[in-house]
């Protein structure tokens, strides 16, 4: 069966249903216009009461939209020949929400892992979402049903209380060594050198997210402190060391003569407007390459990993690091405790049994010489 990229892949259990994704359309969605009341109330709660960002709430909506499109097919509310991306969810009501079972969700996860097109607009679309994407959708569905029980009081019991999340393999974060970090900083020269040096210095010393850095305003700087607006619009204060203060001072001396179109932004582009995330990504790739580092392996987030790793290696405790990075949960920060290979090597060597050798046995055959296999 030949599939077009726009159509996606037909699920084996529903052969005439086409499953694809359209990122361009997804980027233009407004849940307030498309979501039915039961979903809209949940999303509004997260945006206004929980303080989640628009991007986060939009992701919640996309997850729930995909889920209930699938459920409408499985429950026979629409013909199986209907393309998934054309299914409206405006008629999703409490009755349909209540009808969902664990079996339905496991079938949905099977569809995501086997049949869902990753990107219908790509030239070489593959099928099956990564486990991290499936886990996020499970988290969204669980949050939705928890809200219906504990906040909206529309359900007496949570039908998916026992829903497990797909297990995610925890990969160790990639980071620059101390020498590589110094190499990167010392290589910065030429156009925008003061700005780029300041940006990279803040990444490496403060562990900021790129969204936090581009959102910085001049008014956020207070002597040896800087105010950062993190995930969920949560503010935190990061103390600046001498390197950060000097880098900011040098950049502000240049910025004051640049005629910035945005009078508030700390970092501006060549067009004198607030620098964007894409602008920072592009700049970093250029700077990594100029420093002799592989720009395909490193990014702004890898510099955040570097800051966290170097702080831990130099005596910062994990709870303090949690506050610096703005992590809500400690276990998010604890991954950095596993990346210091020198500490692991020292721990292995410090074991008092580490030097014990087996006694040679009498009559043990000697190792065969040559290239025997």
* pLDDT tens for each residue of 147-165: 999 999 999 999 988 888 7
Band the pLDDT of 336: cuts 50, 70, 90.
confident
Taking phi over 0 as left and psi of -120 to 50 as alpha, with beta for the rest, 74 belongs to alpha
The per-residue pLDDT of the chain, averaged, comes to 83
pLDDT score recorded for residue 373: 45
Topology of domain 178-340, CATH: hpI Integrase; Chain A (1.10.443)
**What is the pairing mode between strands 221-222 and 14-19?**
unpaired
Inform me whether the pLDDT recorded for 177 exceeds 90. Answer: yes
Q: pLDDT at position 209, please?
A: 95
The predicted structure's pLDDT at residue 133: 86
Query: Average pLDDT in the 205-229 region?
Result: 95
Whole-angstrom distance, CA of residue 281 vs CA of residue 298: 10
Q: Which ranges of 215-256 does DSSP label H, i.e. alpha helix?
A: 242-255
Q: Write the DSSP symbol of residue 220.
A: G
pLDDT at residue 104, rounded to an integer: 95
- Between CA 240 and CA 271 the distance in angstroms is 28
Give φ, ψ of 117 to 5 degrees: -75, 130
pTM of the model: 0.64
Range with the poorest average pLDDT among 48-62, 185-199, 281-295: 48-62
- The reported pLDDT for the residue numbered 29 is 76
Residues acting as catalytic residues? 209, 231, 301, 304, 327, 336
Instruction: Output the CA angle 220-224-314, nearest 5 degrees.
Output: 115
**How confident is the model at residue 10, as a pLDDT?**
37
Mean local confidence (pLDDT), 165-174: 73
**Domain boundaries defined on the chain:** 9-150, 178-340
- What angle (nearest 5°) sits at the alpha carbon of residue 366, between those of residues 360 and 367? 115
Q: What is the pLDDT of residue 1?
A: 33
Is pLDDT at 138 greater than 50 in this prediction? yes
Q: Is 367 helix (H, G, I), strand (E, B) or coil?
A: coil
């Amino acid at each position: 069966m030949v599939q077009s990229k726009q159509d996606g892949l037909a699920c084996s259990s529903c052969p005439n249903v086409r499953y694809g994704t359209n990122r361009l359309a997804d980027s233009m969605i407004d849940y307030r216009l498309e979501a039915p009341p039961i979903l809209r109330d949940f999303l509004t709660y997260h945006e206004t009461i929980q303080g989640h960002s628009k991007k986060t709430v939009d992701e919640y909506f996309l997850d729930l939209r995909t889920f209930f499109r699938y459920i409408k097919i499985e429950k026979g509310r629409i013909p199986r020949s209907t393309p998934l991306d054309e299914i409206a969810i405006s008629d999703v009501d409490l009755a349909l929400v209540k009808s969902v079972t664990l079996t339905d969700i496991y079938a949905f996860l099977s569809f995501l892992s086997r049949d869902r097109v990753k990107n219908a607009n790509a030239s070489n679309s593959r099928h099956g979402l990564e486990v991290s994407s499936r886990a996020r959708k499970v988290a969204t569905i669980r949050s939705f049903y928890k809200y219906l029980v504990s906040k909206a009081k529309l359900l007496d019991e949570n039908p998916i209380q026992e829903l497990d999340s797909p297990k995610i393999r925890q990969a160790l974060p990639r980071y620059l060594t101390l020498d590589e970090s110094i190499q990167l900083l010392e290589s910065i020269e030429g156009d925008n050198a003061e700005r780029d040096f300041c940006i990279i210095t803040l990444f490496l010393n403060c562990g900021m997210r790129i969204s936090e850095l581009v959102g910085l305003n001049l008014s956020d700087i207070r002597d040896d402190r800087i105010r950062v607006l993190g995930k969920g619009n949560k503010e935190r204060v990061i103390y600046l060391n001498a390197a950060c203060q000097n880098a900011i001072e040098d950049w502000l001396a240049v910025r004051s003569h640049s005629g910035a179109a945005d009078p508030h932004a700390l970092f501006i582009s060549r067009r004198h407007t607030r620098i964007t995330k894409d602008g920072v990504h592009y700049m970093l790739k250029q700077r990594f390459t100029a420093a002799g580092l592989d720009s395909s392996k490193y990014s702004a987030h890898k510099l955040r990993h570097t800051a966290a790793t170097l702080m831990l290696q130099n005596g910062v405790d994990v709870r303090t690091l949690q506050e610096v990075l703005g992590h809500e949960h400690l276990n998010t920060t604890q991954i950095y405790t596993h990346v210091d290979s020198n500490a692991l090597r020292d721990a292995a060597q410090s074991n008092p049994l580490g030097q014990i050798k087996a006694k040679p046995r009498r009559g043990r055959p000697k190792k065969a010489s040559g290239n025997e296999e």
